[in-house]
Amino acid sequence: MTEKQPVETRRGDAGVAPASLSRTDLGAAIIRKRSRPGEWLAERGIFAVSLSSIVMIFLIFAFVGREALPVILGQTSNARTQKPLTPDEATKLPADKLAKYIGVSVSELKGYDAETLKTLVELKAEELAQVSNTDSRINTTSWQKMFQPHRWLGYDKPEYIWQPTSEIPKYNCIPLFIGSLKATLVALLFSVPLGVAAAIYVSQLASPKVREIVKPTIELLSGIPSVVLGFFALIVLATILQTIFHYSSRLNALVGGIALGLAVIPVIFTIAEDALTSVPKSYSQAALALGAAPWQVAWQVVLPAALPGVFAACILGFGRAMGETMIVLMASGNASIVSASILDSCRTITATIAAELAEVVFGGAHYRILFLLGTLLFAVTFVTNLVGEMIVHRLKARLEGA
């Protein structure tokens, strides 16, 4: 509509109609609504695309969450609490209970003759009698056992243990969370300073020639497949770091974290560099004209002005580090131990899912708990992003003077 408005208004004498148009014509010209099918279509198209990505995310979450639902609701149990029954007692049970006791379906049960049934009941009683390990009476898939320490037989204190394939499967998720956080922390401690410093250098201090070389080089890092980075960490980095620091476990959170950092640097760099470059040149000009040195301008004027973007870059880096799988699977040692030391091996949530999901019984407790881990990972990243977004928003508002 704007393009059809009388040009006169732009010259400042608004309201004065050109001679050829009366006032009423002018009024009609601005209220007449024209249909623009092209625009309408494009708008809807863009809307549909963005909607579909949201729906996609929701569907993925719903699927992962559904698989984990029985554990979340506490409906699963792998405790062996049944008492052995004599054949007499067993035959008195209603059909469905008996079927459950033996571990067959009701229809199968109906197909058995009395003799078979008796044998099955005896076998079950024998099996149950053999269970001497009192740990086996514990439902290891309860929330409590998944997140609180437990003193298992043979241990002298309560511990967090992830041993899903031992005789008594232990599903404590805490070691995996610690593993993920440790690797992510090392990765961020390594990549945030480097990524942001590189972004400051490239966007503020480097000469155009240097910028043209450094920027694409760092961005190229993001093109390296993570399996290659993992391989590099496994073979080269681990050896180098061990020779320098002389620690015992060759693959650990430090090696995994640094390799992870290499994958995160380009993410942080690219976004932080964008944020720093888009700070109006007039800010740095003002500072330079006051006699500030270029590094002072970069650090005291440009970085604070770009802080929302730089912070958002770090949040994205966190998400990438939490979600990255192959590098940590290859380079962090994968021992699910609870330890604060970054020189111990660690097993991350992602590596656990990747390594174990292919071998679990479909629909079993272990399977469901792996999906629970996936759900929690999703939730952690989601909440982090949400909180990060809120902080970014606040930082922005502060810069704009609200």
Partner 1 sequence: MDNPVFHIEKLNFWYGAKQALFDVDVTIRPNQSTAFIGPSGCGKTTLLRCLNRMNDLIERTRVEGKIALHGQGLYAPEVDVIELRKRVGMVFQKSNPFPKSIFDNIAYGLRIQGVNSKNDLADRIEASLRKAALWDEVKDRLNDSAMALSGGQQQRLCIARAIAVEPEVLLMDEPCSALDPVATAKIEELIQDLKKEFTIVIVTHNMQQAARVSDHTAFFYLGKLVEFDVTTKIFTNPANKQTEDYVTGRFG
Of residues 319, 315, 305, 314, the one with CA closest to residue 395: 305
Of 229, 301, 312, 353, the residue at the interface with partner 1 (CB under 8 A) is 301
CB of 147 to partner 1, least distance (A): 44
- The Cα–Cα gap between 136 and 80 comes to 6
Nearer to partner 1, 80 or 396 (CB): 396
- The Cα–Cα gap between 154 and 130 comes to 19
Of 15, 37, 38, 208, the residue at the interface with partner 1 (CB under 8 A) is 208
342 phi and psi, to 5 degrees? Answer: -80, -5
Using the contact rule CB under 8 A, the part of the chain among 78-86, 213-221, 236-244, 278-286 near partner 1 is: 278-286
**Is position 218 an interface residue for partner 1 (rule: CB under 8 A)?**
no
- The Cα–Cα gap between 100 and 121 comes to 11
Using the contact rule CB under 8 A, the part of the chain among 21-29, 133-141, 297-305, 376-384 near partner 1 is: 297-305
**Is position 12 an interface residue for partner 1 (rule: CB under 8 A)?**
no
CB 105 within 8 A of CB 99: yes
Nearer to partner 1, 132 or 282 (CB): 282
**Is position 282 an interface residue for partner 1 (rule: CB under 8 A)?**
yes
CB of 399 to partner 1, least distance (A): 4
CB 85 within 8 A of CB 98: no
CB of 297 to partner 1, least distance (A): 10
Spell out where 65-191 has E strands: 162-163, 170-171
Q: Which residues pair with 159 in a beta bridge?
A: 150
Q: How is residue 131 written in tokens?
A: 């269970």
Instruction: Round the CA-based radius of gyration of the chain to a whole number and report it.
Output: 32
**Is position 401 an interface residue for partner 1 (rule: CB under 8 A)?**
yes
Using the contact rule CB under 8 A, the part of the chain among 172-180, 187-195, 286-294, 335-343 near partner 1 is: 286-294
**Is position 210 an interface residue for partner 1 (rule: CB under 8 A)?**
no
Q: DSSP code of 150?
A: B
CB of 293 to partner 1, least distance (A): 6
**Is position 206 an interface residue for partner 1 (rule: CB under 8 A)?**
no
Of residues 139, 140, 159, 161, the one with CA closest to residue 149: 159
- The Cα–Cα gap between 9 and 15 comes to 7
Of residues 183, 316, 208, the one with CA closest to residue 258: 183
**Is position 278 an interface residue for partner 1 (rule: CB under 8 A)?**
no
CB of 218 to partner 1, least distance (A): 22
CB of 397 to partner 1, least distance (A): 9
Of 54, 289, 340, 358, the residue at the interface with partner 1 (CB under 8 A) is 289
**Is position 300 an interface residue for partner 1 (rule: CB under 8 A)?**
yes
Of residues 67, 65, 329, the one with CA closest to residue 180: 329
**Is position 304 an interface residue for partner 1 (rule: CB under 8 A)?**
yes
- The Cα–Cα gap between 327 and 332 comes to 8
Of 246, 291, 340, 362, the residue at the interface with partner 1 (CB under 8 A) is 291
Residue ranges that bind partner 1, judged by CB under 8 A: 208, 280, 282-283, 285-293, 296, 300-301, 304-305, 398-402
